[in-house]
Structure 1
Amino acid sequence: MKKAIFTLAIGDNPMYKAAIETFHKYGERVGADVIISDSLHYKLHVNNKKFDASPAWSEKLYIAEILKEYDRVLYLDADMLITPWAEDIFENYPLLDTIYMFNEGAYKDRSAQAEQINKVLGDVHWPKEQEKMVYFNSGMILVSKETGLFNDNSAEEMQKICNEVKFYDQTFINYLIRRDNIKNVSVDKSFNRMPLLGNDDYKAASFIHYAGRGYREKVPMRDMKYIIDYCDIYKDQLSQSEVLEYKQQAWHWYMLKQQRKTKLPIPLLSAVFGLFHPQHKY
């Protein structure tokens, strides 16, 4: 059986570099190839700033192309960190006719998104568990050919909803699961450990998802917190020079973000922000 781990990573964000390293290490352990999209295959016109949406979210459609060559695909967002102790998700969830995702609807009410997409593409039934609507997070998707996901859809449908529906990509996937009667199972939280579950013991998970603000606490940027955690979790596998390089890159990435906001030179910004975050300045 051919297995693939798929992600989208465009640009030089050090978080993406570290994430891909963890994907490769995991792929070697579970016998899966790693496939990275570094450019978009689908061009959506996203212009509704209210939902803070990105055209890049459409890249999940490319799963259908990968499934022409592979039997199973594990899609992961590039803000996911796979830990060295991660369990084999392919073994834990073996059914080929079933899509596996994490039910964030048990923790967040996403009924507004269901109403939005029903209004555009037509009504489907959204089931509930314990009085809460089932709604899967699309940061982690385990899918096989047999599910038929993305068989009867198009980028045109995504274009219809991308300016009308919040979280348009994952809401679309949830919609397809309902519309096309795809069997589905919610994975254990360890395979998509999200900040909405709190910060306690999150590093014990198999897949840590730094969605939204991540686990930043007093760290000034989510991407920087990711690198800090990566260097800690993989401290036995990284040299001191590698750790230093990652932390320097993370600080520089933070400075680039500040430069885009202020238009001030990076050396000045580094000196000023270093006064507020001396423990993170490299």
Structure 2
Amino acid sequence: MKKAIFTLAIGDNPMYKAAVESFEAYGEKVGADVIVSDELHYKLKVNNKKYDASPAWSEKLYMAELLKKYDRILYIDADMIIAPWAENIFEEYSSLNTVYMFNEGCYKNRTEHAKKINSILGEVDWPIESNEMVYFNSGMILVSKEANLFKNASAEEMQKVCNEVKFYDQTYINYLIFRDKIDYVCIDKKFNRMPLLGLDGYKDASFIHYAGRGYREKIPMRELKYIIDYCDFFAETLSEEEILKYKQQSWHWYMLKQQRKTKLPIALLSAVFGLFHPQHKY
């Protein structure tokens, strides 16, 4: 059986590089190829600033093409770390007719998004579990050919909703599951450990998702926290030089963000922000 881990990583964000390296280590362990999209295959016109949406989110549709070559695809967002101790998700969730995702609807009410996409693409019944509407997070998707998740999917439909529905890609994938009556199972939270579950114990998970603000607490940017955790998790395999380089890159990324806001020289910004965050400056 041919398996692949798929992600989208465009740009030089150090978080993406670390993510891909964690995916590659996991791929070696579970016998899966790693495929990284560094360009878009679908050109959506996304222009609604209200939802802070990205045209890149459409790339999840590319799994339909990959499933012509691979039997199973594990899609992972590039703001995740697959920990060195992660279990083999392909073995834990083995049904080929089932889509496996994490149900964030238990923790966040997403009925507004469901109603909106229903009004655009047609009415669909969204299931209710424990008095909450089922709504899956699309940061991690395990799918096989036989599940037919993308059989009736199209970039044209996604274009219709991308400026009208929050989390348009995620909401559209949920819509496909319920419209086309795809078999689904909610995965254990350890395979998509999200910040909405709180901070306690997140480092024990297998797939750690730094969505939104991530787990940064008093650290000023999620990329900084991501790299700190990544270097901690992989301390046994990373050299001191590699750790230093990652932390330097994440600090520089933070300075680039501040420069876009202030238009001030990076050297000045680094000196000033280094006074407030000396433990994070490299």
TM more than 0.5: yes
Tell me how far apart the structure 1 counterparts of residues 256 and 68 of structure 2 sit (CA, whole Å).
39
Tell me how far apart the structure 2 counterparts of residues 54 and 115 of structure 1 sit (CA, whole Å).
21
| Match runs of 1:222-237 below 5 Å | 222-237=222-237
| Match runs of 1:192-203 below 5 Å | 192-203=192-203
Tell me how far apart the structure 1 counterparts of residues 217 and 157 of structure 2 sit (CA, whole Å).
38
| Match runs of 1:50-65 below 5 Å | 50-65=50-65
The reply to whether residue 274 of structure 1 matches residue 270 of structure 2 is no
Tell me how far apart the structure 2 counterparts of residues 32 and 159 of structure 1 sit (CA, whole Å).
31
Q: 1:68-93: per-residue Cα shift (whole Å, max 9, x none)?
A: 00000000000010001000000000
The reply to whether residue 255 of structure 1 matches residue 263 of structure 2 is no
Task: Name the SS of the counterpart of 2:124 in structure 1.
Answer: coil
Shift of 1:153: 2.0
Task: Name the SS of the counterpart of 1:102 in structure 2.
Answer: strand
Tell me how far apart the structure 2 counterparts of residues 153 and 237 of structure 1 sit (CA, whole Å).
41
Tell me how far apart the structure 2 counterparts of residues 209 and 29 of structure 1 sit (CA, whole Å).
20
Shift of 1:18: 0.4
1:18 corresponds in structure 2 to 18
- The TM-score normalised by the length of structure 1 is 0.99
Question: How high is the sequence identity, in percent, across the aligned residues?
Answer: 76
Runs of 4+ in 1 over 2 A off after TM superposition: none
Tell me how far apart the structure 2 counterparts of residues 244 and 223 of structure 1 sit (CA, whole Å).
15
Q: 1:50-85: per-residue Cα shift (whole Å, max 9, x none)?
A: 111100000000000000000000000000100010
Shift of 1:236: 1.0
CA RMSD of aligned residues (A): 0.5
1:245 corresponds in structure 2 to 245
Shift of 1:261: 1.1
Tell me how far apart the structure 2 counterparts of residues 173 and 35 of structure 1 sit (CA, whole Å).
20
1:37 corresponds in structure 2 to 37
Task: Name the SS of the counterpart of 2:139 in structure 1.
Answer: strand
Q: 1:143-187: per-residue Cα shift (whole Å, max 9, x none)?
A: 000111111121010000001100000000000000000000000
Task: Name the SS of the counterpart of 1:45 in structure 2.
Answer: coil
2:104 corresponds in structure 1 to 104
Task: Name the SS of the counterpart of 1:220 in structure 2.
Answer: coil
- The TM-score normalised by the length of structure 2 is 0.99
Task: Name the SS of the counterpart of 2:87 in structure 1.
Answer: coil
1:217 corresponds in structure 2 to 217
Tell me how far apart the structure 2 counterparts of residues 73 and 221 of structure 1 sit (CA, whole Å).
31
The residue identity in structure 1 corresponding to 2:161 is I
The reply to whether residue 181 of structure 1 matches residue 181 of structure 2 is yes
Task: Name the SS of the counterpart of 1:164 in structure 2.
Answer: coil
2:208 corresponds in structure 1 to 208
Shift of 1:263: 1.0
Task: Name the SS of the counterpart of 2:165 in structure 1.
Answer: coil
Task: Name the SS of the counterpart of 1:232 in structure 2.
Answer: helix
| Match runs of 1:69-80 below 5 Å | 69-80=69-80
Shift of 1:107: 0.5
1:84 corresponds in structure 2 to 84
Q: Where does the alignment leave 5 or more consecutive residues of structure 2 unmatched?
A: none
Number of aligned positions between the proteins: 282
Tell me how far apart the structure 2 counterparts of residues 45 and 272 of structure 1 sit (CA, whole Å).
39
The residue identity in structure 1 corresponding to 2:146 is E
Tell me how far apart the structure 2 counterparts of residues 235 and 221 of structure 1 sit (CA, whole Å).
21
2:47 corresponds in structure 1 to 47
The residue identity in structure 2 corresponding to 1:147 is A
The residue identity in structure 2 corresponding to 1:264 is L
Q: After superposing the two structures, state which structure 1 stretch, 252-261 or 29-38, moved more.
A: 252-261
Tell me how far apart the structure 2 counterparts of residues 152 and 191 of structure 1 sit (CA, whole Å).
27
The residue identity in structure 1 corresponding to 2:22 is T
The residue identity in structure 1 corresponding to 2:111 is S
1:130 corresponds in structure 2 to 130
